[in-house]
Amino acid sequence: METITVFLDGTELPNLGLFFKQMVADLSLTNHTLNIESFKNQINDLEWLDGAKVRISLTNGKAFLIEEDIQIRKTMLQILLSAMKDEYAKSPILVIISKD
């Protein structure tokens, strides 16, 4: 089974726009109307990855989405962490976050 590893550096992702752009590039998410809700739906699906394991490594977590409201930051981290628990996900996800 293939493994796709996504390396995210929080210092390079200070806002949702840059984060979404990175995720579109790394996981082939659709970029039309990409917002929090569509991201949540897509990260919990990933059907197009044909069951590949996905590992998301976020370093410098304190800087991640620093330009956004604290609630948005919490929501996005919660979505990522919740994706690991989705027993119906087409591709298993492991998320590792380093606060650095």
Cα 95 to Cα 77: distance, rounded to the nearest angstrom = 10
Q: Summarize pLDDT for 39-48 with one digit per residue, the tens.
A: 999 998 898 9
Q: Summarize pLDDT for 59-97 with one digit per residue, the tens.
A: 999 999 999 999 999 999 999 999 888 777 778 888 888
Residue type for position 77: L
Cα 10 to Cα 87: distance, rounded to the nearest angstrom = 27
Q: Where are the beta strands (DSSP E) in the chain?
A: 3-9, 53-59, 93-97
Neighbours of 48 (CB within 10 A): 13
DSSP character string of 1-21: --EEEEEEEGGG--SHHHHHH
Domain chopping of the chain, boundaries: 3-97
Which superfamily does CATH assign the domain made up of 3-97 to?
Barstar-like (3.30.370.10)
